[in-house]
Amino acid sequence: MGQKINPLGFRLGTTQRHHSFWFAQPKNYSVGLQEDEKIRNCIKNYVQKNKRISSGFEGIARIGIKKRIDLIQVIIHIGFPNLLIEGQTRGIEELQMNVQKEFHSVNRRLNIAITRVEKPYGQPNILAEYIALQLKNRVSFRKAMKKAIELAEQTDTKGIQVQIAGRIDGKEIARVEWIREGRVPLQTICAKIDHCSYTIRTIYGVLGIKIWIFVDEE
Amino acid sequence: MARKSLIHREKKRQRLEQKYHLIRRSSKKKISKVPSLSEKWEIHGKLQSPPRNSAPTRLHRRCFLTGRPRANYRDFGLSGHILREMFHACLLPGAIRSSW
């Protein structure tokens, strides 16, 4: 039977850009990767910790990292940047200090910028978090999926497909449920498709959510 | 995910190897220069004296994310499975699918 390749990886050379964008000789490549991991983990932990306080949910759509010889530029694409902006920009500086603590290197400056994503529900990561929240509140899964698709349609995407796999409704037999609206041409490389795969831990086990959003046809 | 004790053992070996690196290098140079055999035995004795875990041959590369001892790639420092996951998440700069 055919298995589906991750549409992001499939399109990497053509319609998909990398989230980390820097150059390194083969000797230093793995060091650069480790730095990237540290930065991303630091940011995610910080947002996770302070999420309780703000009780909104802010979805991090993407963390882009660019490096130059003397500068590391981190751009966080976030959907609802309440915490990090309304906190009188204290949030960003705290973040910056936290991340800088991880690094013992004095050679590179660190610069963190926050960008607001214009249509937050057009990003699959944010949609997946939304569905996860709904499922945690014991909403019926079909309603959650339909609500998510509605939200995405409002931001005029050309197609969306949502798939939930696992012990749906806590039933003993796991199954896969999916809904599609519009068209999602996975085989067309010049079609920009955004994808997210998200796991939720419920009391019955792990549910996997996958979302494909067809953004544009170039 | 590999056991934490194994990952820390590797770290210990790395620390020791760094600590004794220069001493070992100088002994090795001397042993190749010195002409007489008995002196070579002496220097060989010196080479045997630092702890075993400071020998670079005892290091074993592990994936830096999971600590997996097999299937590691030197260019990335990652094991194959994690490499594939990170590739699909667009986190490896410059890596694209190859087709020709």
Task: Tell me: do A81 and A69 sit in the same domain.
Answer: yes
Give the per-residue pLDDT at B21.
Answer: 85
Round to whole Å and give the CA distance between A152 and A141.
Answer: 17
Among the residue ranges A45-49, A195-199, A204-208, the one predicted with the least confidence is: A45-49
Which range of residues forms the domain containing residue A30? 7-114
Give the other-Cβ count within 10 Å of A1's Cβ.
Answer: 2
Q: CATH no. for residue A69?
A: 3.30.300.20
Helices (H), A61-168: 82-86, 90-102, 124-136, 141-154
What is the ipTM score, two decimals? 0.86
Task: Tell me: do A128 and A94 sit in the same domain.
Answer: no
Among the residue ranges A112-116, B8-12, B30-34, B96-100, the one predicted with the least confidence is: B30-34
Point out the residue among A8, A13, A18 whose CB comes nearest to the CB of B93. Answer: A18
Q: For chain A, how many structural domains are there in total? A: 2
Interface membership of A28 toward B (CB under 8 Å): no
Interface membership of A199 toward B (CB under 8 Å): no
Query: Of the residues A114, A138, A155, which one is the last residue of a structural domain?
Result: A114
CB contact under 8 A, B90 and A18: yes
CATH 4.10.830.10 location in chain B: 60-99
Task: Tell me: do A72 and A150 sit in the same domain.
Answer: no
Average pLDDT over every residue of A31-49: 87
Task: Tell me: do A14 and A98 sit in the same domain.
Answer: yes
Write down the mean pLDDT value for chain A.
86
Task: Tell me: do A134 and A162 sit in the same domain.
Answer: yes
Mutate to test the interface with B, among A4, A8, A12 (most CBs of B within 10 A): A12
Query: Of the residues A90, A114, A138, which one is the last residue of a structural domain?
Result: A114
Render pLDDT for B50-71 as a digit per residue (tens, 0 to 9): 888 888 899 999 999 999 999 9
Q: Domain for residue A104, yes or no?
A: yes
Q: Domain for residue A196, yes or no?
A: yes
Strands A205-217 and B72-73: unpaired
Nearest residue of B to residue A195 by CA position? B89
Question: Is pLDDT above 60 for A88?
Answer: no
Nearest residue of A to residue B72 by CA position? A30
Q: Name which residue leads in pLDDT, A114 or A92.
A: A114
Give the per-residue pLDDT at A179.
Answer: 92
Q: Return the CATH architecture of domain B60-99.
A: Irregular (4.10)
- Closest-CA distance of chain B to residue A49, Å: 22
Question: Is pLDDT above 80 for A107?
Answer: no
Interface membership of A10 toward B (CB under 8 Å): yes
Residue A116's pLDDT band (cuts 50, 70, 90) = confident
Closest CA to A210 of A8, A15, A17, A19: A8
